[in-house]
């Protein structure tokens, strides 16, 4: 069988790491940023995903994020998301490290998730950093004000020029170093520091699996490259694993 080695490695594993990127969410209808017709081809990231852009034109940025929130609110996890949630139930030592901000992994039932770039669901104050938990009106054109200091509220995503959430990459790096099997799914493996993680996992002896419809710079280093969409292959892999460990 074509996945025999992978199933054997998974069944014997003590730690499994999974890095996911925009490709898995694209299967739920959420546009990626780097495709020729993706979001960065239509919008300037410096204006819409940076603190400078937000301070220059908070209404434009807030309206754009509300536009994205609407798309996410209308989207559902796909077969790839659900398969990873099942993988975690079968192998509780599985951790999903995601570059995505849509929270679809959590919606599908995954529990062990590290959000490298934050998420678009939560919000916080630009000045005092306190969380903003009030309901967000997608039709509101201007960002609400903080109830503590009256400064503007922003989405809790990592913008260009900002650091990742404190300690998050260190946790992800530890998972990569400890992994017996490490998946890179739906990511170009070009956005750093996330792109270091598959390389680190490979360096520390993990069986490296890449699932992506197209080749990336990581492909030559993968122990197993599966040129397909995650929603097409992950359910099959998880089903085979379930039969193996049953």
Quote the CA–CA distance of 44 and 53 in Å, as a whole number.
10
Q: Which two tokens stand for residue 73?
A: 């609110």
Q: Within the chain, what is the greatest distance between any pair of CA atoms?
A: 61
Provide the 8-state DSSP code for 94: E
Q: Annotated catalytic, 81?
A: no
User: Which of 81, 93, 105, 117 is flagged as catalytic?
Assistant: 117
Quote the CA–CA distance of 228 and 246 in Å, as a whole number.
27
Quote the CA–CA distance of 218 and 200 in Å, as a whole number.
12
How many angstroms separate the first and last alpha carbons of the chain?
18
List residues with catalytic annotation.
Answer: 117
């Amino acid at each position: 069988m074509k996945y025999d080695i992978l199933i054997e490695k998974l069944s014997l594993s003590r730690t499994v790491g999974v890095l996911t990127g925009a490709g898995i969410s694209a299967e739920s209808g959420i546009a990626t940023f780097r495709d020729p017709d993706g979001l960065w081809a239509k919008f300037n990231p410096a204006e819409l995903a940076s603190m400078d852009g937000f301070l220059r034109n908070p209404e434009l940025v807030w309206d754009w994020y509300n536009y994205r929130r609407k798309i996410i609110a209308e989207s559902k996890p796909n077969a790839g998301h659900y398969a990873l949630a099942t993988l975690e139930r079968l192998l509780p030592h599985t951790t999903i490290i995601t570059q995505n901000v849509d929270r679809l992994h959590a919606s599908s039932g995954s529990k062990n998730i590290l959000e490298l770039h934050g998420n678009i669901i939560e919000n916080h104050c630009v000045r005092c950093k306190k969380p903003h938990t009030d309901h967000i009106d997608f039709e509101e054109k201007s960002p609400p004000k903080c109830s503590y200091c009256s400064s503007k509220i922003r989405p809790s995503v990592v913008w260009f020029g900002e650091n990742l959430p404190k300690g998050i990459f260190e946790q992800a790096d530890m998972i990569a170093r400890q992994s017996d099997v490490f998946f890179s799914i739906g990511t170009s493996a070009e956005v750093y520091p996330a792109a270091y993680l598959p390389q680190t996992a490979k360096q520390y002896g993990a069986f490296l699996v890449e699932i992506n419809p197209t080749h990336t710079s990581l492909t030559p280093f993968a122990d197993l490259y599966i040129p397909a969409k995650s929603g097409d292959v992950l359910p099959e892999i998880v089903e085979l694993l379930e039969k193996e460990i049953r």
